[in-house]
Structure 1
Amino acid sequence: EGVIRTLLDDGYRREQLYPVENKTVVTNPRQGAINNRWMPVLEKYGLPFIALPEVEWVKYEFKGLLKLNQIFPEIEIPKMFIGKSVIHLPTLKTHGHSVTTGAIKNAFGGLLKEVRHYGHEFIHEVLVDLLTMQYQLHPGIFAVMDGTVCGDGAGPRTMRPVIKNYILASADQVAIDAIAAKMMGFDPLEIPYLRMAAEMGYGVADPKDIEVIGEDISRVNFGFESKRSFVIWGDQMIRKGFLRPFYWLLLKSPLWVWAPFASNVYHDLFWYPIIGRRRIEEFMRTNWGKLFESYGAGAGS
């Protein structure tokens, strides 16, 4: 809501704003917009919600990619992205595949279709490719990162919510992710996608070379740890571990549908009832939880 209000106050017209979200093999963007209380905010400011699977996707030739052209011989993107600036709204959190996830990885969900999980095997190169793609598509790239409620542990789906009350913003996608990583307790230069992106000139990854305006975060260290959920551990064993001989059978053959099914079984029938529900109930008793609840579900619920 703060980003929308600021854009409108700065003179942007509603017709210039396109709130979007994509699907994965285990999520539905419209249901997510309802469950995450986005709809009341969009309705308040007269904005539509755009589910990317419902818009036109077109083939686009990108230059200088490290891995994505090998994973996807033909890359399709939402046609509406071409020539438009983008504002990413990531959450400050850890991730079992990429150590951290933020502004750069946010494009993983926007520029690639639901089969983007094939990029997990080369996740760091893929994240750098996403920056390459964005610089060829968007005249402007900005990010506002939500560090009010952060995610620690086995991200992205089985994290522990931690209230830290920070907001980060930058036009340098590498720098904002680097500072977020530092605040979480990681050395940004030891995270491959940040180091590679900086080496390719896409931004600054060394915190000592980044100017931070606002609160002094030089001594901030959340002490977060990047862990792997059972599902991410299994995924990595298939792609790079002892289950590699079965890679094509499990992920490329018609039997691949077992993977999202197994993920849903684990997360919805095991993790959530035993662990997740309690964490959410505890969070909902906090001030941020009460604010979240106050938005209601909005239309379409």
Structure 2
Amino acid sequence: MELRVINYYLTVAREGSITKAAEALHVSQPNLSRQLKQLEDELGVTLFNRGNKKITLTNEGILFQQRANEIVSLVNKATHEFTQQKNSIGGTVSIGCVESTASPMLSKVLREFSARYPLVRYDLYSADGDDIREKLDKGIIDIGVLLEPIETAKYNYIHLPYVERWGLAMRRDDPLAQREAIGLQEVSSLPLILPRRMIVRNEVSSWFGFSEEQLQIFATHNLLTNALLLVEEKLGYIICVEGAHEIRGSKNTCFIPFSPERTTGHVCAWKKTQIFNPATQLLIQYVKDNEKA
């Protein structure tokens, strides 16, 4: 399977038309159709539903599109790393970061690090812990800033000096918004919007002493952007960490911590078997040195 053919496939999937894709790729339509048929034969599946004017992806085609995007991303990353200037520290460091109090820390670290190594560039990815770990495992990102816990058998990591409080995000005009803290038993009777990560949901359920089925779950979320809109419409209360809410700067919502307090720490993690470019190695060492300091 050639990278050229993978790019052909992604262009057809994006354009939804072999004719338009052939024009974008500057190849003949018969040649493009032949390449796609050979790709399907090689994989042993049908990737497209072919209509008169438009083609759509089959389920297998959607899966291959996801994998093809990952392959192209890795190739582009490798190409970029090896074409950097050889006489200076350059290259790209890809970093995934959860939305929390660690987000401002990351900005501060990159400001200081880039002052030392101005040729280094950064590819930032914001997501929840599951998404970041998946991309760490696939080598798509180099470093992940995560909330604990993590799988210590798979990752090297550095404990970061940032602790998050868990609590509820709610409307500012909600009666509970006047409280300094809210008891866990009170929360169990409210319509809740939970983090989608199963490991977090299990931990939340253990705090309340109830199974997840006994909680009033309205929705789950991975990032707060759309979840906060649900709160503003009075559809529920978000269980989240304080920093994720604070960096949003929402005028219509507020954060109230749990009582008794529930906290979690942060780590900077990377895959144990991953081989990094010099810029990534230097950044990891820089975080290690400053964490010790």
**TM bucket, shorter chain:** under 0.3
Higher relative contact order (Cα pairs below 8 Å, separated by 6+ residues): 2
Please state which structure has a larger fraction of its residues in strand. Answer: 2
TM value normalised by structure 1: 0.23
